[in-house]
Amino acid sequence: MALQQRLMQQQSGCAAKASSRRIIMRRPARSTRLNVAAGGKVYLDPVQKECSAFAPATVANLGPGFDWMGCAVQGGGDTVVVKALPGRAGEVVIEAIQGDGGRLSLDPAKNCIGVAASETLKLMGGAVSCGVSLTLHKGLPLGSGMGSSAASAAAAAWAVNGLFGAPLAKDKLILAGLASEAAVSGYHADNVGPSLLGGFVLIRSCKPGEPVELLQLPISPAAAESLHFVLVNPRFEAPTAEMRAVLPKEVPMKSMINNSCQGGALVAGILRGDVRLIGESLDRDVIIEPVRGPLIPGMMAVKEAAKAAGAYGCTISGAGPTAVAIVDDPRVGERVAAAMSDAFRSAGKLEVNTAQVVKLDPEGAKFV
């Protein structure tokens, strides 16, 4: 049964429905610690001097699931190291960023890790006795379509949470991730949701000022073992804001019916553990891919090359330029990755940064 999570804005509290599926969370050895200062004010103390967390890459949209479906994948991701700053209560500082080529701001108000850290401290519900210093290790390229900003935000939120003994469940930290995403790429949870929670996540509701409702979709262990994602990232940056600017304001009824049908089939494929159905449904978006695809040199040729090499389907990962294909055999995946890479080079005149065959990440953010 799917896990249903209703996440209210901070002032409204949080309610959640339980599920038989367990979300794996590793906590620090020590528990949350409070102290009472003169005057009766309660402060939350860190339980350790330093905490590190990793959050994985994600594939958002999955074809017809634009803005309402995403999943976490194994392989790359971002790591954030958080250190306590004694005597600087509530302060957030970005100490260093590695792997970004100097492009990201060290201003906490202008960087997704700073926003996520600040929002996490607010969600703890009381004053903290120290500040936090953040160091970001970027493992994902910027503007890659693999949830780069979401991975940074998820890792920052989980690491700050861990510094104080992990008093917040992952579902509540979605709010911190959403605030971070809104600051850099838009208010959407199809990357940060799966990066925090792991697995497949359906976004049932996500509007500013309204309850956020997520459904974590279970997939059988056998299907998760056979499901493989082929991710090919060309040397081309596709900023999310620019890719959103080309989206249509209205769509024909026939297109809406097609995408509704294929989106339903995608969910059915996940719940049934049908890898072929997942791939075929992912391949049949007729609303978003037709307007974004032409902006990524060679994308349509890559899509055809993937299927010709044995993939069940291929589409754009997130806002691109990474292309994602679905296979049920890693050996087929290697062949598909080579064909997709060749198509990017020949049809798109683009060099390829990475080509990898990866599996679903069921855990999401974790302490490292």
Count CA atoms within 13 Å of residue 193 on its CB side.
31
Q: What are the CA-CA distances from residue 23 to residues 194, 268, 363 (Å)?
A: 12, 22, 7
| Catalytic one of 79, 120, 240, 322 | 240
Q: Has 363 been annotated as catalytic? A: no
Q: Has 240 been annotated as catalytic? A: yes
Helix (DSSP H) and strand (DSSP E) numbers for the chain:
11, 16
One-letter amino acid identity for 305? A
- Asked whether the CA dihedral 283, 152, 205, 273 is positive or negative, the reply is positive
Structure tokens at 364: 């999401």
Cis status of the peptide bond prior to 321, with omega within 30 of 0 = yes
How many angstroms separate the CA atoms of 16 and 4, rounded? 7
Give which of 26, 19, 7, 3 is closest to 365, Cα–Cα: 26
Strand ordering across the sheet containing 228-234? 313-316, 323-327, 228-234, 352-358
| Catalytic one of 119, 181, 280, 289 | 181
The partner residues of 323 in beta bridges, in order of sequence, read 232, 316
Residues that are catalytic: 181, 240
